[in-house]
Structure 1
């Protein structure tokens, strides 16, 4: 027998306080907004300019969005989940290009499982 790696996952039930639940809802909303906005920008760039937007470019866009007064609320949650959603979008595009998945779709409130890494 060769070396085998066994991966395990543990699931825990979480009972947030009302303040924590509010903060989680804000974080999930920001994650969904960033994912959808980055997807829209990548979609626009390809269909209007025939150019691919890189992960580094979307990361710079996130910084601009956080500094913009209209979307300054993006600076409230931790930067980790927002950057993770951009990595997830990049992975979705790589899987699409390699014919392992369909084209990435927009996230709808209440239609997807909320998550933040």
Structure 2
């Protein structure tokens, strides 16, 4: 017999804000990585590795003033967004 459980979370307003920030940053990183991969494909360049893609859309992006806010969330969330992109 298999059991199934349902869970529901009720985050506080501050937790809700932190989750929204993390999800938003993950979306931006995913979209930036997708754009880099599409540009490389259109230019006829080889597939960009996971490590190189992380360097471009995470490490280098955090150094720019336009994307400095990416450093405010956990790096694990951003790295997982890049891994999800490569899995897709």
**Cα RMSD for the two superposed structures:** 1.7
TM-score (norm 2): 0.87
Structure 1 runs of 4+ aligned residues shifted over 2 Å read 8-12
Give the alignment partner of residue 28 of structure 1, picking from 23, 27, 40: 23
Q: CA deviation at 1:12?
A: 2.2
* Aligned residue number for residue 34 of structure 2: 39
Q: CA deviation at 1:9?
A: 7.8
Give the alignment partner of residue 80 of structure 1, picking from 57, 64, 76: 76
Runs (5+) with no aligned partner, structure 1 = 1-7, 93-117
Runs (5+) with no aligned partner, structure 2 = none
Whichever structure has more helix as a proportion of its residues is 2
Number of residue pairs aligned between Structure 1 and Structure 2: 85
